[in-house]
Chains A and B, each alone.
Chain A
């Protein structure tokens, strides 16, 4: 149990579907992140939220739409995805104290786009 819970663990969707990934952290952290992990590629930062405000968008296509209603919850809304978007999507949280520190990752949502 890492304190960061992601649902669903597995998702298969067509290119015209709309789905959402959910992340919840029980650690009292103020920063939350979405990372994409593809085979044979480094973890790619997608979005960062601090105190519910988006502070980083790492040039992510608009078919990925994040939402952070509060410091404990983070969503990634997906629509009209492409097969190359198939990957493991990892949510993470951190203290957000103003200095670099440990990231606490969830177990990820494995997405397959058909």
Chain B
């Protein structure tokens, strides 16, 4: 199966600074890498994803980079705002079953005003 490791587990940044969360995966055949944001009392919600045919994708203040050789991908949030405070999860599907998505352990991001 797929093994996904996520770091750090907690991250505190000042408002306006950048935040970076990193994940590594084990299945070299994985080809889809989503990031989810979970706010308190809610289910996870997709914020950005990347497929293996590209190395970087941006959406306003959020970007994801992928290094397939090293088998790691990262979430970058620039100009952080208090509403970015949440738990962020990376994920990767198992190549032997595309719906068997393995999630990282989560990063609790706190943006300090």
Binding site for B on A (CB under 8 A): 2, 4, 31, 33, 40-43, 45, 48, 50, 55-56, 58, 90, 92, 94, 96, 98-108
Contact = CB atoms under 8 A, between A and B. Distances in A.
B99 A2 contact: no
Contacts, number: 62
A9 B52 CA distance: 37
A103 B101 contact: yes
Contact of A90 (B41, B43, B98, B99): B43
Interface of B: 4, 31-32, 34, 36, 41-46, 49, 89, 93, 97-106
A100 B98 contact: yes
A103 to B, nearest CB: 7
A17 B99 CA distance: 32
B41 A107 contact: yes
Given A42-B4, A99-B32, A94 B104 contact: no
Given A100-B31, A100-B32, A108 B100 contact: no
B89 A43 contact: yes
A100 B99 contact: yes
A105 B44 contact: yes
A98 B43 contact: no
Nearest to B30: A100
Nearest to B42: A107
Contacts of A50: 99
Closest 3 CB pairs of A and B: A105-B43, A100-B32, A100-B93
A56 B100 contact: yes
B99 A94 contact: yes
